[in-house]
């Protein structure tokens, strides 16, 4: 099963928990909302994620939908901007009345949105967030699919050591997930017998609240 299908399977499981009314022909579609980075810094990866969402909606509807109901996907461009993403999810929940939401691309956009979805007790499947610290703050409606950032590079480090390389240099974006992965992995090379060289970040992403 592809990653996109796994993500959507989790999303549909959440929708299943929400869609408890009896099935009839007159029932409206299950509405799923999301923002997508169609433009801006994360446009290339954000559009890939969007195509995965759209493909899964298409395949699900072709097979009869969920509980006899079709899926309707409501999506807007967040322009890779956290503030824009927050406005979109607020509108999706309060005005569009979606049944659940799928996360935007990456931790820099997803983390700012989480406080909003928690406020409205709205389930959000976040396929591209690996920032496990969000669960240490009492959040209950966020569902992570990625490996946690603390172990994200572990396989890479082990592979490097296995091939006899001694120095690892990491260039990373100055945003929440790359910083978490970099900091957590500093102890691994010592364990594996390699030496870690980590320069200061050379790429900058959208600003992240220190409380995140």
Each residue's pLDDT expressed in tens, for the chain with a length of 212 residues: 555 555 555 555 555 544 444 444 568 999 999 999 999 999 999 999 999 999 999 999 999 998 889 999 999 999 999 999 999 999 999 999 999 999 999 888 998 999 999 999 999 999 888 777 777 778 889 888 877 777 777 777 778 778 887 777 777 777 777 777 777 666 665 555 556 555 433 333 334 333 33
122 and 169 belong to one structural domain? no
Inside any domain, residue 175: yes
Q: Report pLDDT for 35.
A: 97
Measured between alpha carbons, how far is 9 from 22 in angstroms, rounded to an integer? Answer: 21
166 is a domain residue: yes
* C-alpha to C-alpha distance for 146 and 107, rounded to whole angstroms: 11
- Do 126 and 67 reside in the same domain of the chain? yes
Range of 40's domain? 3-17+28-146
Q: Decide: 112 and 85 in contact? Cβ < 8 Å.
A: yes
Q: What is the pLDDT of residue 26?
A: 61
Q: Are residues 82 and 158 in the same domain?
A: no
Question: Does 165 share its domain with 136?
Answer: no
Bridge partners, residue 63, by sequence: none
The residues pairing with 204 across neighbouring beta strands, listed in sequence order, are 174
Structure confidence at residue 157 (pLDDT) = 76
pLDDT of residue 207: 40
Query: Residue 118, SS3?
Result: helix
Residue 108 sits in the same domain as residue 33? yes
66 and 140 belong to one structural domain: yes
Query: Do 84 and 181 belong together in one domain?
Result: no
Q: What does the alpha-carbon distance between residue 193 and residue 72 come to, in Å, rounded to a whole number?
A: 52
Contact 93, 119 (CB under 8 A): no
Q: Which of 146, 163, 179 is the last residue of a domain?
A: 146
The answer to whether 102 touches 11, Cβ cutoff 8 Å, is yes
23 occurs within a structural domain: no
174 and 140 in one domain?
no
The total domain count for the chain is: 2
pLDDT at 34: 97
Within a domain: 126: yes
Q: What angle do CA 134, 135, 140 make, to 5 degrees?
A: 110
């Amino acid at each position: 099963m592809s990653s996109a299908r796994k993500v959507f399977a989790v999303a549909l499981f959440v929708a299943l928990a929400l869609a408890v009314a009896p099935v009839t022909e007159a029932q409206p579609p299950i509405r799923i909302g999301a923002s997508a980075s169609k433009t801006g810094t994360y446009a290339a990866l954000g559009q890939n994620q969007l195509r995965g969402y759209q493909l899964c909606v298409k395949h699900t509807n072709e097979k009869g939908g969920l509980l006899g109901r079709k899926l309707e996907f409501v999506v807007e461009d967040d322009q890779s901007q956290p503030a824009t993403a927050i406005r979109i999810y607020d509108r999706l929940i309060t005005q569009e009345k979606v049944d659940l939401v799928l996360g935007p691309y990456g931790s820099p956009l997803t983390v700012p949105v989480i406080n909003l979805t928690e406020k409205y007790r709205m389930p959000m499947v976040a396929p591209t967030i690996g920032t496990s610290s969000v669960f240490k703050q009492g959040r209950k409606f966020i569902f992570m699919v990625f490996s946690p950032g603390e172990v994200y590079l572990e396989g890479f480090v082990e592979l490097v050591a296995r091939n006899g390389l001694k120095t690892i240099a990491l260039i990373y974006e100055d945003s929440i997930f790359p910083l978490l992965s970099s900091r957590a992995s500093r102890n691994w090379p010592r364990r594996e017998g390699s030496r870690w060289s980590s320069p200061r970040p050379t790429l900058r992403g959208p600003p992240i609240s220190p409380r995140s």
